[in-house]
A and B are shown apart, each in its own frame.
Chain A
Amino acid sequence: MRHVKDIADLERARREIMKGRDPDARVVAICCGTGCIACGGLTVADAFRSEVDSRALASKVRVLTTGCHGFCERGPLVVVQPAGILYQQVKPDDVAEIVETSVEGDDLVERLLYVDSASGEKIVREEDVPFYKHQTRLILGRNGALDPTSVEDYVAIGGYGSLAKALDAMTPDEIVATVKASGLRGRGGGGFSTGRKWESCLKAPGDVRYLICNADEGDPGAYMDRSILEGNPHSVLEGMVIGAFALGVTDGYIYVREEYPLAVANFTRALDDARAAGLLGVNILGTGFSFDVAVARGGGAFVCGESTALMASIEGLPGEPRPKHIHTVERGLRQRPTVLNNVETWANVPLIVDKGAEWFAAIGTEGSKGTKIFSLVGKVNNTGLVEVPMGITLREIIDDIGGGIRGGHSFKAVQTGGPSGGCISEDLLDLPVDFDRLAEAGSMMGSGGMIVMDDRNCMVDIAKYFVGFLKDESCGKCTPCREGLRQMHAILTDITEGRGEERHLDELEYISWGLEQTALCQLGSTAQNPVLTTLRYFRDEYRAHIEEKRCPAGVCKALVTYSVVADACTGCTVCAKKCPSDAIEGEPKKVHGIVQDKCIKCGICYEVCKFDAIAID
């Protein structure tokens, strides 16, 4: 994109871009988020390009590789615009047909349309698919409309307009006041009021301040930050530049997980392009205001998402938290006042500046405003990223958007808030989802992971999983977390391996109390949530493990046996062939049997059997 001289010039530049584009031209948008790439999105995109070339359509058709659309379950996704036709699970072999039928022609490739599992009907347009229909996609919605590596695309849909408005028509104080009035709360987990955080940073003494975008996203089961950075990096950058102007900051950082190479690449590209276009760097939009952002790649430590650890890590030190009696807004990075906000928080800022605080505050509930992106994963039919207004119920998310539990199983629990959150049981499904209500239920909003579990998930195993995760990720600086988590893990291991004792439940509660009271950072002081919530809502399951030495969900290896259901076995031999320890015997077409001594309980037979002839008990 060409260099933009001043604020008025931005609109001219946008018109120039639009002039070069035919609004009625066909656009083939292929999702190339990490999920769709894993299913072959890039080869599909290549196939479209060569198909379009070979038909000499390049001048009339735009092949767009976009970031994540959210409906990862059905990838690779292809949307043909302007009609908005959604094709799902597209293979390279389907490409020629799609181009012929829907790009050159005006027909549909019926077999690639999404079929609504409830009504059995085929659905043509993306926006009519139930997965999308119940969402409010303020932030994610734009992912499908632009190429993340193109600043023109972002400017074309009005991007950087909020920055222009902020620089032109607002004072820094007005921006802070607007953000505060909007009620925006941090999307990184804590849910602290963003406006108040900015205000306290402004009040802190010192003339050098920093601003950081937290893209560490260590929370297992959440990936919205990744999708925003990969799919629309400029929206985050625009938010950061606005924030920098409001806070009088000249140096910003973005701290990205090292497991997210595409996010690093796209964001770095966005920085370069924005700098070249005069939207970042020295003298932004000719206003004399300067601000730049450096990318810091994380080292793969969950605790580095914690504010003080993150700042230590940017300083080149091990990511160990420090006590926070002095807040980072007063003394953060290099001992200077620092504002740290999450990716999604920053991405909300341009929207608020553009449409105003009242508009934003009208969405959501009393204490939680706007929308929140959740990664709806686990045992639901439609997994993916969903953006919904605060206050929607869990049931709506799981049933209406997620399409219910997959494979005819029944719902058991939903885990929200990552390792600091908790598991919520069925009777709380009508809980409106916002910061405060989730906390009341013993869980957390966290960064928005929502992992749905069915009757084949063992809640003791899940608690053990989280405690194990945190035990490995504890930085080891303070004793309650380092030793307490180790003990909890040992106890949970005992329970899942059949050595559980009556006293163990009290001990778990006692260690939990100690962690909550005494750990140095929230990694440790919230670590008990997965244990306490499972104890609160699923105590029966713990009891079954301890008293009956039985795992009701059939997950805990030491407590289950696999056997063949004679009535259902057809003697197809698949299980015998797949069994890694040759524990299955039987002649073809005759009922098979499992030799228990040899069985290593890997569960492969259960997975491969097409006749439900393997029983776990």
Chain B
Amino acid sequence: MAKEERAPETEGGANASEQGEVREPRIGVYVCHCGINIAYMVDVRKVAEVAGTFPNVVVARTYPYMCSDPGQSLIRDDIEKSDLTGVVVAACSPRMHEPTFRAAVSDAGVNPYLLDMANIREQCSWIHEEPEAATEKAIDLVRAAVARASHLSPLVEREVPVTPESLVVGGGIAGIQAALDIAEAGYRVHLVEKEPTIGGRMAQLDKTFPTLDCSACILTPRMVDASRHPNIELATYSEVKEVEGYIGNFNATLTRKARYVDLEKCTNCGLCYASCPVRNVPQLREPVGIPRDLSEKDRTRLDAIIADHGIDAELLIQILQDVNIEYNYLPVDALKYVAFRLGVRPATVYHVASFYTAFSLEPRGRKIVKVCTGTACHARGAVRVLEELERRLGIGPGETTEDMAYTLLTVNCLGCCALGPVVVVDNDYHSVVPGDADAMLARYETA
């Protein structure tokens, strides 16, 4: 339900009055002594004095306790007298008194979001020991706040209807507990798990660190609770396909995977499971670390590369270099396997793999065309050569042709600067003048 209807969203910034006419910002700056809390270290008078010279500032004052009633009315009076459009309070942390000052300016008819605070207590006076430097810093903080305040736009508070339900993705111990907490608080929860059962990793563990508690003893009661709770809607063997909307009004689309069992009629007798000859039971998880789909052959290939270098986390980049050459890119499963073998977190391996340009996370074409865009090549027209190749191959830099024949890359200097513009196809270097790139590539196509 809308609580109040005011000006349309946020138009025009602080300088726009409600009629939409644009005005120069008029800002008041209020520097608080906070008793001695600020004043013992920061020369508050000087701060106010300097702040008075900042652009858009029309008044700048100090007061022993800005948050006190007289302090607040000082601000309110100024707003009326000097027709302020924005207010900067240089005082404590906004966590402390922002609501106080917002209320104060709001009372005087200025949108509460046109207030900005400079924290010169927690982030300045309390943590510094040199008064002069602290004062300088306080001035800088106020300068920044004034600059910000000059750009602020009025915001409007509205109430909108929300659907008080939540979606928890992943039915591991964390997801189960989150779902239970929300459900206990009286809201509906949709708990989505991609495997046929909730429980997750914890169901694979025997004991938990550091107390060596029996993990099943922790997990099973919660699994049962979650499945029985009236507020929890379990969606196992399902995945979230899409989430759209915004806070309070999300729409999520789930894919329920095929299950071949009529859940309405099933009595959970377990006979089908016992007599099934195939045993392709989906909940058998891959052992931690070795990707399920990695073939024996791939493991041998990767093992050979790792053996060449040695099992040492420091050699990660060297190993990935060779994997990248072996596969012409870095397949995800290979990354996971290398992570497992080297005892490095998969996230770290991914960080490295995505940081260095030598590595490709996408399959690349059979021929790799690299256009040097080093300075010397640039000065001699490398951009034109690149454009020619883009037109010819129909792809942009970093892309691969659909038939996987070519990948087009740019490289920052191949160290052949005397011959620029230089194009390298696989390992052949070509000095290519703009206009000749077509002919250069044609030689590879007939070959």
Residues of A with Cβ closer than 8 Å to B? 34-35, 37-39, 72-73, 217-223, 226-227, 257-261, 296-302, 313-320, 375, 377-379, 383-385, 415, 418, 449, 451, 453, 457, 462, 465-466, 469, 472-473, 475, 578, 580, 602-604, 607-608
Contacts and interface: CB of A to CB of B under 8 A. Distances in A.
Contacts of A39: 419, 431
Interface string B379-414: 111001001100100000000000000000001111
Contacts of B416: 34-35, 38, 72, 223
Contact of B376 (A34, A38, A218, A451): A451
B7 interface: no
A385 B417 CA distance: 9
A72 B417 CA distance: 9
B340 to A, nearest CB: 15
B155 to A, nearest CB: 25
B376 A220 contact: yes
A217 to B, nearest CB: 7
A453 B318 contact: no
A300 B359 CA distance: 9
A591 to B, nearest CB: 21
Interface residues of B, number: 48
B144 to A, nearest CB: 13
Interface of B: 312-318, 320-321, 344, 348, 351-352, 355-359, 373-376, 378-381, 384, 387-388, 391, 411-420, 422, 427, 429-431, 433-435
A602 B388 contact: yes
Given A38-B419, A221-B374, A604-B435, 5 more contacts: A220-B373, A377-B376, A378-B380, A449-B376, A469-B412
Contacts of B375: 220-221, 377-378, 415, 418, 449, 451, 465-466
Nearest to B352: A318
Given A73-B418, A451-B375, A603-B381, A318 B358 contact: no
B358 A300 contact: yes
Given A73-B418, A220-B413, A299-B356, A604 B388 contact: yes
B317 A316 contact: yes
Nearest to B321: A297
Contacts of A415: 375
10 contacts: A35-B418, A37-B429, A217-B415, A218-B412, A221-B375, A258-B358, A297-B321, A449-B375, A603-B381, A607-B435
Contacts of A314: 314
B316 A316 contact: yes
A315 B434 contact: no
A261 B427 contact: yes
Contacts of A296: 317-318
A218 B314 contact: no
B317 A222 contact: no
Contacts of A257: 415
Which of B352, B358, B415, B434 has most A Cβ within 10 Å? B415
B352 A580 contact: no
Contact of A260 (B317, B415, B420, B431): B415
B356 A300 contact: yes
B415 A297 contact: no
Contacts of B420: 377
B347 to A, nearest CB: 11
B352 A316 contact: yes
Contact of B415 (A259, A465, A580): A259
B315 to A, nearest CB: 6
A299 B357 contact: yes
Contacts of A313: 317
Nearest to B349: A316
A609 to B, nearest CB: 10
B418 A384 contact: yes
Contact of B318 (A34, A297, A320, A580): A297
Contacts of A462: 378-379
Contacts of B413: 218-223, 259
A608 B352 contact: no
A316 B313 contact: yes
Nearest to B359: A299
Contacts of B388: 580, 602, 604
A38 B430 contact: yes
A259 B414 contact: yes
A259 B430 contact: no
A221 B417 CA distance: 6
A38 B318 contact: no
What are the 8 closest A-B residue pairs judged by CB atoms, nearest first?
A: A299-B356, A72-B418, A38-B429, A220-B374, A223-B415, A221-B375, A220-B413, A377-B376
A133 B341 CA distance: 57
Which of B321, B357, B378 has most A Cβ within 10 Å? B378
A379 B377 CA distance: 10
A220 B441 CA distance: 24
Contacts of B358: 258, 298-300
A301 B427 CA distance: 20
Nearest to A230: B415
B355 A453 contact: no
A313 B318 CA distance: 10
B379 A301 contact: no
Contacts of B429: 34, 37-38
Given A258-B358, A449-B375, A608-B435, A379 B415 contact: no
A311 B257 CA distance: 48
A377 B382 CA distance: 14
Contacts of B356: 298-301, 318-319
A257 B317 CA distance: 12
